[in-house]
């Protein structure tokens, strides 16, 4: 599957984890340098990448201790999909960089963890292969392509394969300046399952040159018309864009800065979340990603307006280290943390978290 | 007393101290790594542990210099107990990790320093042994257990042994994610005096599994009914909980985040103290802990609404290094600092500190 | 051309750049230590030098993603001069310190990049030599000299040589305390083309002793009267000075703190830009410099009131590393970044940037 | 003169200085470790010592550039004493720790620099010796002693010796916890000229035990009555104390936290200066010290309400390195910086600085 001698992870095992911080350095031992730089890095000076983490420190959770609440219940739903906890696998490209089972491993792990996974347009496997490997709920993520006809074909294939919603990524009309890739002279060492026109050996600029460079509300309408599926608009940091997306029929808003990989100097997502949530005003659910590593981060994001959060890089690190079982271990770890945080904060349910005031 | 070759401190001597900051590294030379990690560490990323210290830097003491005041008097009382200074020993588990005399050493040192000590449910010695060793005032701390009958038994034993108040800890319905313990693979190397059902060799999760996972005002009422003793509710960071506790009959509120050991991402106690004190509004005394290391910290806490502060880890470090005499040295050090701060700040009495405006 | 064995860069080649941050250390390999310290250093503790960079982190760009905009157009004009992008070469002294082609190389590179360059009074070459080497638009910068007659002569020569505007620097009535130069015992190793009275071997204090030590609006009027050319007043951080300059006939205001080389402890230019722009109120264009290294910095400056920005040290580093082709590479790099930022931020034109609200 | 093999500086020479920051490490090469720790250190965690420096970064000087001002005039007066610049030598104990000429060297250097010096109660030489060595203006600083009669004697001797004002230090009713001294086991290696009851070999606690531990407005009245000289009250951080001092007859207020040597956790003096100056409201001059190292610090302090500033540790470092000529060099350095700052900021006179608005 790989070119250029690239070697991804091969093990399938449960992981002994203390947290989802140290897992990054554990994964760096398994994923080749170029791939690791691509996965872990951010754009430019990585200011936004760092701010995605440090912004959580700007708010605190005041424990409520005399509530009589116990044994938190983390179950929730998103667009009708039941989840074991409010944490899902957001769309992430090229899982094959991390593990030879690629998205099939992640899908199996997500299902085992009782959560849903979004399959990326730029997956290593074909969307049908990912669907076949998944026994849990799944969404398909679309990078709108310059080739509209092929975009339509992907949407129809996704619907046919059982994907229940489309995540439209809107923040990638240009490639972020991911300098680690340039320094590592990183070339993709593997094919893209859904994009047969692009062979391996290209860099990310070549890949992204296939993407539409213009994004407007009509694309949302186009997807709805073609599929009849709910559309999640991912990559929103502005309240104005949230309103535009909803007006165009979006079923959910995903607050994201692409994990700090696109526009360096854009705000941390946790910073803009309250304003976007206010603009959404409960009309559709809000999904949040970029920076989640801790149960307390999940809690803070939900207390700030999110309904569900996406957990990205740590899932890929778990995949690299232990295949589907590693993914499951990652979810066990963060779910254990979230449960502890809910208990200590006095929140019985996800709904309780939403009604918590942060300090 | 110890299993697994664990060796706690054995010396009994006065300590030459410059401050209660460097004592931590001194103690790390005496306490085995696992025990030291357990004592010194905090939960998660230790953000709250650090914030407990750095939060004191957010306020300053403006010296008052032309007051005609001199020779500060640090005496005060808490719930009728006279204290040589407004600094006491709060409940801390397993003193035997630090020194072979365990709580008996601490109790003797606290009495020598003219202050009171609270004996923890999870003490190394039995509460009766601790009481026998103590010639000073003492309180008993209760972790409400899932076994209500045994909790009642402990309360009755405590009253019989001469404890004059019950400190109910309410912030421990789940165990914080103390990762140092996991990394050190720390197992308790010694028994718990009051909990014969739990032998040595367990980890903190096993220990805490005996604790009640649900905390509500009825537990406060239960303790009052069983003992007739004043109840201090410890582990409050929310003004709402302070009000609930007082309504349920609490005789004092202890603002604490368990030394940053429970919910990482909760606020520094010094940050929330003014709001809790405002909610309490003088109806009952406020005890403060988590982060005190300096005389100026004591001053700032009292100027922000506390009546008395608890000094935790430094006392255990003093115990490790010098037994009861080490505990006494620790109090001499912080009392010397507090006296100096009061003199330089122009405060004659603890009451004067309360009327000081911080910058 | 050089004395004391000084060796400037000699290569003429395109540069492989990841960003204009790392170019500084690349250039430090080529430029001798004394010259590099002179170019890269700031005044005093270099607080202002650092603040010029960190101040950009105080504001963020919220990406607008559903705008339907694509293929950003960076073209703009300044005082009637068309520019390929809103980034120009501001006046910088002694390009010969960096490269043997000195200002001729920079001028050729700037022209190749489709932008304008300002030639400094203290250029290595004569202003006529610089003009002859330049095929693009050019301005002449004046350090008003104590010798008014010679100042007049320079202005007339500049006009005759085809310079289309005069940049009057007003922030150099004393030399900043550039301590790196003192520590390196740096002496100018080369002549100044326009100032034949000052030979090589002098230090910056000797050089500046030729400058006028008094700056007032009459100097602006004097230049207008002598040349009939537009006057840009450079070195403004105060709204009051901006108003005075405009009242005296200035055609543009250049917000600058001389790259942190003059008054350490003065504000970062990005910090004062909004207030100066408000005072200018659109009456004349605002040029901004001091601290620009990234496309996002350009975007933020323009969104905060600038029309065009000056890019200083990175241009000199590009010159040192690759002569005129290095200068061109530097502009290609920052233009590529700016284009990406505009695309990701949803700005089609420079005018769109001006109407962007930063977070 | 010295005991215990202590060796202070002996050289008399001009210094080549880049700034008054690096002079500290230069001086550390000459002054023995114990003495250097005593001079350079602060109290406790040295938070206030550091804040004295970093607080200056909270305000910036906006250069005014089109003012037509030039050749700044730094002359000013304080309580009728003409000064070459608004920078004086505040009272500092034991100059003999730095240089064998002790206060005689400093006095000669201060006179050469055209400024005044305050001689400390705890000077190495007798106040008469210091007066004899000084050809410039001089004040005498009093630590009010427990022995009132001897305090009176000192005041009368000071007046007789030609001191023109009395600086009453009011912030030293207890000794700060200067931990460097304890760690270095520092004992004073030399006598105090004015306190014959205290021999060498004592530590600072022994020394300070002679001081009055109670400070009130009557002491100000006492000094006025005994001497008829103006009294400067030094060690004020509270507006209330400033008002009390003025009401008791103080002729000037000295905002000081004793260089961060007394109450750690007290505010930086630059932070409280505006509030104290507002309380003083121009009724008497305000002298400022603690943290001054740069010309820009002097400017910022004066723009924030000070009339004159004291320069402490750098003067002692200059004395250690070059005797009286070193002191002169230190003043030349900071005066050169202040002159440059005034020129670049557009301030012609000290009065102009006072009317400058900081950013």
The one-character DSSP state at B30 is T
pLDDT at residue C210, as a whole number: 84
Which of these, D347, D354, D316, lies nearest to D36 by C-alpha position? D316
C275, C297 contact by CB (below 8 A): no
D136 backbone dihedrals φ, ψ, rounded to 5°: -105, -175
A85 backbone dihedrals φ, ψ, rounded to 5°: -155, 165
A309 backbone dihedrals φ, ψ, rounded to 5°: -120, 155
pLDDT in 10s for each residue of chain C, 359 residues: 799 899 999 999 999 999 999 999 999 999 999 999 999 999 999 999 999 999 999 999 999 999 999 999 999 999 999 999 999 999 999 999 999 999 999 999 999 999 999 999 999 999 999 999 999 999 999 999 999 999 999 999 999 999 999 999 999 999 999 999 999 999 889 989 998 754 445 666 667 778 988 999 999 999 999 999 999 999 999 999 999 999 999 999 999 999 999 999 999 999 999 999 999 999 999 999 999 999 999 999 999 999 999 999 999 999 999 999 999 999 999 999 999 999 999 999 999 999 999 99
Residue A12 lies in a domain: no
Q: Looking at the complex, does the CB of residue B300 fall below 8 Å from at least one CB of chain D?
A: yes
Which of these, D313, D238, D293, lies nearest to D271 by C-alpha position? D238
Residue A238 lies in a domain: yes
Which of these, D78, D141, D89, lies nearest to D112 by C-alpha position? D89
Residue B10 lies in a domain: no
CA-CA distance, A92 to A315, in Å (whole number)? Answer: 10
For the segment A8-37, what is each residue's pLDDT rounded down to a tens digit? Answer: 999 999 999 999 999 999 999 999 999 999
Q: Looking at the complex, does the CB of residue A302 fall below 8 Å from at least one CB of chain B?
A: no
Cβ–Cβ gap D296/C44 under 8 Å? yes
Residues of D in contact with B24 (CB under 8 A): none
Q: How far is the CA of B87 from the CAs of A33, B351, C279, in angstroms?
A: 54, 14, 57
Query: Residue A2 corresponds to which tokens in the numbers above?
Result: 């790989």
Residue A9 lies in a domain: no
CA-CA distance, C122 to A267, in Å (whole number)? Answer: 42
Q: Kindly compute the dihedral angle of the four CA atoms of residues D84, D85, D86, D87, in this order, to the nearest 10 degrees.
A: -90
pLDDT at residue D204, as a whole number: 67
Tell which of B41, B171, B173 to mutate to test the A interface (max A CBs under 10 Å). B173
pLDDT at residue A130, as a whole number: 98
CA-CA distance, C1 to C188, in Å (whole number)? Answer: 12
- The burial class, CB within 10 Å (0-12 / 13-18 / 19+), for A25 is exposed
The one-character DSSP state at D84 is S
For the segment B39-87, what is each residue's pLDDT rounded down to a tens digit? Answer: 999 999 999 999 999 999 999 999 999 999 999 999 999 999 999 999 9
What ipTM was assigned to the predicted interfaces of this complex? Answer: 0.95
Cβ-count burial A102-138 (b if 16+ within 10 Å, e if not):
bbbbbbbbbbbbbbbbbbbbbbbbbbbbbbebbebbb
| Domain enclosing residue A183, as ranges | 23-354
Q: Answer whether residue A207 shows pLDDT above 80.
A: no
Q: Looking at the complex, does the CB of residue A357 fall below 8 Å from at least one CB of chain B?
A: no
Please report, rounded to a whole number, the percentage of residues in chain A having pLDDT higher than 70: 97
CA-CA distance, C150 to B278, in Å (whole number)? Answer: 73
CA-CA distance, B137 to B88, in Å (whole number)? Answer: 10
Please report, rounded to a whole number, the percentage of residues in chain B having pLDDT higher than 90: 92
CA-CA distance, A67 to A307, in Å (whole number)? Answer: 23
Residue A183 lies in a domain: yes
Residue D289 lies in a domain: yes
Cβ–Cβ gap D65/C182 under 8 Å? no
Which of these, D306, D293, D312, D308, lies nearest to D358 by C-alpha position? D306
C184, C118 contact by CB (below 8 A): no
pLDDT at residue B199, as a whole number: 45
The one-character DSSP state at D259 is G
For the segment B290-346, what is each residue's pLDDT rounded down to a tens digit? Answer: 999 999 999 999 999 999 999 999 999 999 999 999 999 999 999 999 999 999 999
CA-CA distance, A166 to B115, in Å (whole number)? Answer: 66
Element (H, E) at C166: strand C166-169
Residues of B in contact with A69 (CB under 8 A): 214
For the segment B249-291, what is each residue's pLDDT rounded down to a tens digit? Answer: 999 999 999 999 999 999 999 999 999 999 999 999 999 999 9
Residue among A70, A296, A337 minimizing CB distance to B173: A70
Q: Mind telling me the catalytic residues of D?
A: 258
D349, β-bridge pairs:
D73
Question: Which single residue is written with the structure tokens 């019985």?
Answer: A348
Q: What is the mean pLDDT of residues A253-276?
A: 98
Cβ–Cβ gap A215/C68 under 8 Å? yes
Residue of chain A whose alpha carbon sits nearest to that of B205: A340
Task: Give me the residues of chain D with pLDDT under 50, please.
Answer: 198-200
For the segment B82-106, what is each residue's pLDDT rounded down to a tens digit? Answer: 999 999 999 999 999 999 999 999 9
The one-character DSSP state at D81 is E
* Secondary structure (H, E, C), B298-310: HHHHHHCCCCEEE
C236, C38 contact by CB (below 8 A): no
CA-CA distance, A269 to A266, in Å (whole number)? Answer: 9
The one-character DSSP state at B211 is B
The one-character DSSP state at D281 is T
In chain B the first and final C-alpha atoms are separated, in Å, by: 50
3-class secondary structure, A54: helix
Residue among C174, C179, C216 minimizing CB distance to D66: C216
Tell which of D66, D302, D304 to mutate to test the C interface (max C CBs under 10 Å). D66
Q: What is the mean pLDDT of residues A279-295?
A: 98
CA-CA distance, C254 to C290, in Å (whole number)? Answer: 10
Which of these, B277, B206, B205, B204, lies nearest to B239 by C-alpha position? B277
Q: Looking at the complex, does the CB of residue B50 fall below 8 Å from at least one CB of chain A?
A: no
CA-CA distance, A336 to A315, in Å (whole number)? Answer: 15
Q: Answer whether residue B235 shows pLDDT above 80.
A: yes
pLDDT at residue B76, as a whole number: 98
pLDDT at residue A198, as a whole number: 47
D310, β-bridge pairs:
D88
- State chain B's mean pLDDT as an integer: 95
Element (H, E) at A131: helix A127-133
Q: Which of residues 229-268 of A touch C (CB under 8 A)?
A: 233, 235-238, 240-241, 244-245, 248, 257, 262-267
Which of these, B7, B27, B2, lies nearest to B327 by C-alpha position? B27
Cβ–Cβ gap D266/B71 under 8 Å? no
- Please state the separation of Cα B40 from the chain's center in Å: 13
With a CB cutoff of 8 Å and minimum separation 6, the contacts of C156 are C226, C227
Q: What is the mean pLDDT of residues B233-245?
A: 98
Confidence band for B204, pLDDT divided at 50, 70 and 90: low
Cβ–Cβ gap B69/D238 under 8 Å? no
Tell which of D178, D238, D239 to mutate to test the B interface (max B CBs under 10 Å). D238
Q: Kindly compute the dihedral angle of the four CA atoms of residues B108, B112, B118, B121, in this order, to the nearest 10 degrees.
A: -10
Element (H, E) at A234: strand A231-236
Tell which of B18, B53, B65 to mutate to test the D interface (max D CBs under 10 Å). B65
Please state whether beta strands D308-310 and A87-88 pair in parallel, antiparallel, or not at all (unpaired). Answer: unpaired
3-class secondary structure, C309: strand
CA-CA distance, C162 to C138, in Å (whole number)? Answer: 8
Q: How far is the CA of B195 from the CAs of B119, B137, B153, C122, D103, in angstroms?
A: 14, 23, 11, 84, 69
Domain count across chain D: 1
- CATH number, domain containing residue D181: 3.20.20.70
pLDDT at residue C200, as a whole number: 46
Cβ–Cβ gap D359/C245 under 8 Å? no
Confidence band for A203, pLDDT divided at 50, 70 and 90: low
Neighbouring chains to D with at least 3 Cβ pairs closer than 8 Å:
B, C
User: Which residue in the list B75, B95, B205, B258 is annotated as catalytic?
Assistant: B258
Q: Answer whether residue A197 shows pLDDT above 70.
A: no
pLDDT at residue A73, as a whole number: 98
pLDDT at residue D19, as a whole number: 97
Cβ–Cβ gap C18/A235 under 8 Å? no
3-class secondary structure, C255: strand
CA-CA distance, C37 to C184, in Å (whole number)? Answer: 8
For the segment B115-148, what is each residue's pLDDT rounded down to a tens digit? Answer: 999 999 999 999 999 999 999 999 999 999 999 9
With a CB cutoff of 8 Å and minimum separation 6, the contacts of A79 are A164, A165, A230, A232, A251, A252, A285
Q: What is the mean pLDDT of residues A80-84?
A: 97
Smallest CA–CA distance, residue A291 to chain B, in Å, is 15
Q: Looking at the complex, does the CB of residue C175 fall below 8 Å from at least one CB of chain D?
A: yes
Smallest CA–CA distance, residue B210 to chain A, in Å, is 14
Q: Answer whether residue B110 shows pLDDT above 70.
A: yes
Residue A301 lies in a domain: yes
pLDDT at residue B210, as a whole number: 84
Residue of chain D whose alpha carbon sits nearest to that of B16: D182
């Amino acid at each position: 599957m790989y070119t250029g001698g690239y070697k991804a992870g091969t093990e399938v095992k449960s992981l002994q984890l203390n947290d989802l911080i140290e897992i990054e350095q554990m994964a760096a031992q398994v994923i080749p340098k170029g791939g690791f730089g691509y996965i872990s890095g951010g754009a430019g000076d990585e200011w936004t990448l760092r701010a995605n983490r440090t912004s959580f420190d700007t708010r605190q959770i005041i424990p409520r201790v005399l509530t009589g609440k116990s044994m938190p219940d983390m179950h929730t739903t998103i667009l009708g999909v039941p989840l074991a906890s409010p944490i899902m696998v957001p769309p992430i490209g090229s899982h094959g960089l991390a593990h030879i089972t690629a998205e099939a491993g992640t899908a199996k792990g997500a299902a085992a963890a009782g959560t849903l996974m979004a399959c990326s347009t730029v997956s290593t496997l074909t969307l049908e292969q990912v669907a076949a490997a998944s026994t849990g709920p799944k969404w398909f993520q679309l990078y709108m392509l310059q080739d509209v006809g092929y975009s339509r074909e992907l949407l129809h294939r996704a619907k046919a394969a059982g994907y229940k919603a489309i995540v439209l990524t809107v923040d990638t009309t240009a490639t972020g300046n991911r300098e680690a890739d340039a320094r590592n002279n990183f070339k993709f060492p593997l094919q893209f399952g859904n994009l047969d026109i692009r062979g391996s050996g290209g860099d990310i600029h070549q890949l992204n040159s296939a993407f539409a460079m213009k994004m407007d509300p009509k694309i949302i309408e186009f997807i709805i018309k073609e599929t009849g599926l709910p559309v999640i608009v991912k990559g929103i940091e502005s309240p104005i864009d949230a309103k535009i997306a909803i007006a165009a029929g979006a079923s959910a808003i995903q607050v994201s800065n692409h994990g700090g990989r696109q526009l360096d100097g854009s705000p941390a997502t946790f910073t803009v979340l309250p304003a976007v949530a206010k603009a959404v005003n409960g009309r559709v659910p809000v999904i949040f990603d970029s920076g989640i590593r801790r149960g307390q981060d999940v809690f803070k994001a939900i207390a700030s307006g999110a309904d569900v959060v996406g957990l990205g890089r740590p899932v890929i690190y778990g995949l690299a280290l232990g295949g589907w079982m590693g993914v499951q271990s990652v979810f066990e770890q963060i779910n254990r943390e979230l449960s502890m945080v809910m208990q200590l904060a006095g929140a019985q349910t996800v709904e309780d978290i939403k009604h918590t005031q942060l300090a």
